[in-house]
Amino acid sequence: MSWNNSETNPDPMPEHPVPLSSDTQPKLLNEYEKLTSRHYKILAMSWAGWVFDFYDLILFTFLLIPISREYNFTNLQMSYVLGASLAATAVGGVIFGILSDRFGRRPILQLTILTYSVGTFLSGMAGSFWLLMVFRILTGLGVGGEWGTGQTYIGETFPAKVRGRYCAMMQTGAPIGIALASIVGGLISPVIGWRACFFISLLPAILVLFIRRHLPESDLWLRRKKIIQSGLATVREKGNTGLRQFQILFSKANRKYFILGLVLAIFDMSAYWLTYSWMPGYLHTERNFTLTKSAFWILVTQTGGFLGYLIFGLVADRLGRRPAYSIYSVIMALGLVMVTIFWDNIVMYPFIILFFMFMVGFGTGMFGGFGSLFSELFPTSIRSTAMGSAFNLARGIQFFTPVIISIIAMKYGLGGGISLAAVFALLTGAWIWTFPETRGRKLYAGD
């Protein structure tokens, strides 16, 4: 493979280049100097998909109590449902990643949104524990598939010089989705009931049906498809199907970056879920906040997260992927340490505590870097498989983080457990330096 910026990327992936004549090929979307309406349509669809992806994932946590009350489900039963849906995101990330590499970014992105929308809608019709379990697993499959497909879609179609900021912009859908889930689950559900909350989640599916005809396919993926059909691709690649597609991630050419990427995602995911799985409970039980005040302070972190995602992309495109991750990891770790270990030292200054809460959220903007980084590390033939698998396998592992905090809290309190997130944030900022710098790397159909 030939990279036109080899001086800044000294460690390119070992690939077999496919000869292409740039003079006879039409310009790709990622080669445009200025963004077009096609770029913005792709961004809008991917962003909306991620908004409702996170919305559907978080909404269920708000509806746990009314569901368990109506059916007399135990806390253990509900934890099984939560765990199963989270584990399903890992499976969905792998399955839909493979499908995206084989059938295209556009149809599979739509399919993931339809899958989690239908799963959430059916959850409102569940009349038993096992039906609820099945429908939440269906939702989890779609939720797991959307991120990798959407980020691949953006990464392949946006110019290299702005790829970081627009991949990060898609990530702003997470705090928006959490805010929507808070409004529907916390304010609207007591009025319309938990079933109706699930029913209105079919709206994203209607959105897909409405705009799907106006959405272009990734022309990079289309060009790669033509290469395969023309016989220029390797025989091995032509035979890639199902499990074989996933196994290629562990081939000599790809396993280094896949494993490095998986570990990076695990570190960052651990920092995130160790922070947010118990933060409301920490503020309420150990800092004696009312539920309303706790919710307001969490909203402050989400505001920080929204701005953090937006600015991360700018920093990553200006300074590079590695410096951006390191800067953000330190910001998040500092904020976490101050609102847990050093709380008593600043408790008399509420605005200072709020500032550090904002820093915690801002630091989670690190997640805005995965889309561009992974797009630049993996070839077109397995890009979506690699991205969806690494990100969602790391998310599936987070099933254990609430348990870890509960164990630590027995001796050190919830604050002690949450402070562990600072360690993982710093590990993320350090681990990123095991990667080559990929800022400005152009993507080719022949890679």
Asked, for residue 24, whether it belongs to a domain, the answer is no
Number of domains comprising the chain: 1
Asked, for residue 81, whether it belongs to a domain, the answer is yes
Asked, for residue 442, whether it belongs to a domain, the answer is no
Task: Pick the range with the lowest mean pLDDT from 180-194, 264-278, 354-368, 423-437.
Answer: 180-194
Determine the pLDDT at residue 292. Answer: 73
Asked, for residue 226, whether it belongs to a domain, the answer is yes
- The CA–CA distances, whole Å, from 103 to 72, 114, 443 equal 43, 16, 19
CATH at residue 216:
1.20.1250.20
353 with 347: CB under 8 angstroms? yes
Asked, for residue 19, whether it belongs to a domain, the answer is no
183 with 128: CB under 8 angstroms? no
Determine the pLDDT at residue 79. Answer: 75
Q: Which domain holds residue 183?
A: 31-434
Q: Over the stretch 365-374, which tens digit does the pLDDT of each residue have?
A: 999 999 999 9
Asked, for residue 369, whether it belongs to a domain, the answer is yes
Q: Over the stretch 238-258, which tens digit does the pLDDT of each residue have?
A: 545 566 777 888 888 899 999
Q: Over the stretch 19-46, which tens digit does the pLDDT of each residue have?
A: 444 456 688 999 999 999 999 999 998 9
- The CA–CA distances, whole Å, from 233 to 13, 239, 270, 399 equal 17, 10, 39, 40
User: Which amino acid type is present at position 350?
Assistant: P
Q: Is the dihedral of CA 371, 372, 376, 379 positive or negative?
A: positive
Neighbours of 275 (CB within 10 A): 29
Asked, for residue 76, whether it belongs to a domain, the answer is yes
